């Protein structure tokens, strides 16, 4: 992959990369479409990264419908699909890990220790293998965008990180490869997460800037679904992930909930379309 990518760059072609774990859906399509608009070449990586799964997470069970993914990607006109085996990314002699620093320990990091070290390590390697001018990440995984941007700044990586708005089902549920695990009853409840965030976003638009109040409005709406347990719910600054004294346009209300064994995450950027 790297030789092909270097050849494209040498010929003056800008490359956009879309890192995915496969099980592709319309959310991924949206990243790819944006990549095609901005770049001469688009590489999609399909790699279920063992380093970002915790011991109790579903690495083995993660869906891998690769033939379907390939058919889908053919229809989207990408220039290359990079689908490496695990030992190409992590050969036996592999040792180094990217330390995400303090931003990796909050929000998702609290429930998923080591997750962002795994994410940043593979993202850094994928960037080196695909030589992108731009890389596309979904806003749904907002903390991932923040951490990748931090790494790019800290290490001076020559790549621009583009955050793409979350693509949703008609009822508002953020699309996710993991939604297939929801049983019909859970699937019916799941859209409340987006609805609860929308309540707070509307309150912000109407002048409410107190983080605790915005969180409380969200909590109240989530409480209408008894099967659902809040993991975290917080208004945060989109660069530092700290809780601001007052929410401002661009502050993010981020939430993770558990619905039975399934964890759902979602967020809304207050007073703005995107990160």
Catalytic residues: 28
Q: For the residues of the chain, what is the DSSP string, one character each?
A: -HHHHHHHHHTT--EEEEEE-S---HHHHHHHHHHHHH-SEEEEEE---GGGS-TTS-TTTS---HHHHHHHHHHHT-SEEE---HHHHS-TT-------GGGGSSTHHHHSTTHHHHHHHHHHHHHHHH--SEEEEEGGGHHHHHHHHHHHHHHT-S-EEEEEPPPB-TTSPBP-GGGGG--HHHHHHTTHHHHHHHHHHHHHHTT---HHHHHHHHHHHHTT-TTEEEEEEEEE-TTT-PPPSS--TT-EEEEEEEETTEEEEEEEETTSS--
Regarding 140 and contact with ligand AMP (CB under 6 A), the answer is: yes
Judged by CB under 6 A, which of 130, 176, 218, 251 binds ligand AMP?
Answer: 176
Q: Report, in Å, the least distance between residue 92 CB and ligand AMP.
A: 25
Q: Which is nearer to ligand AMP, 24 or 196 (CB)?
A: 24
Regarding 124 and contact with ligand AMP (CB under 6 A), the answer is: no
Regarding 175 and contact with ligand AMP (CB under 6 A), the answer is: yes
225-254 binders of ligand AMP (CB under 6 A): none
Judged by CB under 6 A, which of 8, 53, 137, 204 binds ligand AMP?
Answer: 137
Judged by CB under 6 A, which of 80, 126, 164, 252 binds ligand AMP?
Answer: 164
Q: Which window, 8-16, 27-35, 58-66, 263-271, contacts ligand AMP (CB under 6 A)?
A: 27-35
Q: Which is nearer to ligand AMP, 62 or 232 (CB)?
A: 62
Size of the site for ligand AMP (CB under 6 A): 17
Q: Which residues bind ligand AMP (CB under 6 A)?
A: 20-21, 27-28, 30-31, 137-138, 140-141, 164, 166-167, 174-177
């Amino acid at each position: 992959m790297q030789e092909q990518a270097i050849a494209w760059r040498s010929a003056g072609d800008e490359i956009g990369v879309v890192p995915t774990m496969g099980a592709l859906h319309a959310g991924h399509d949206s990243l790819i479409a944006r990549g095609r608009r901005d770049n001469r070449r688009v590489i999609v990586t399909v790699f279920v990264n063992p380093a970002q799964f915790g011991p109790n997470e579903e690495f083995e069970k993660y869906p891998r419908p690769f033939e379907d993914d390939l058919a889908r990607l053919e229809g989207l006109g990408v220039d290359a699909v990079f689908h490496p085996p695990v030992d190409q990314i992590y050969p036996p002699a592999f040792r180094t890990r990217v330390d995400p620093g303090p931003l990796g320990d909050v929000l998702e990091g609290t429930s998923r220790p080591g997750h962002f070290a795994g994410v940043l390590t593979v993202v850094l390697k994928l960037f080196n293998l695909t030589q992108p001018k731009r890389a596309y990440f979904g806003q749904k995984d907002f903390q991932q965008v923040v951490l990748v941007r931090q790494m790019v700044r800290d290490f001076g990586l020559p790549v621009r990180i583009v955050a793409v708005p979350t693509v949703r089902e008609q009822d508002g549920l953020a699309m996710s490869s993991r939604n297939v695990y929801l049983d019909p009853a859970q699937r019916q409840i799941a859209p409340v997460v987006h609805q609860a965030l929308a309540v707070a976003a509307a309150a912000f638009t109407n002048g409410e800037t107190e983080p605790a109040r915005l969180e409380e409005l969200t909590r109240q709406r989530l409480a209408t679904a008894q099967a659902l347990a809040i993991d975290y719910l917080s208004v945060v600054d989109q660069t530092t992930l700290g809780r601001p004294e007052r929410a401002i346009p661009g502050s993010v209300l981020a939430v993770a909930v558990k619905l039975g064994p399934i964890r759902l995450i979602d967020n809304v950027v207050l007073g703005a379309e995107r990160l």
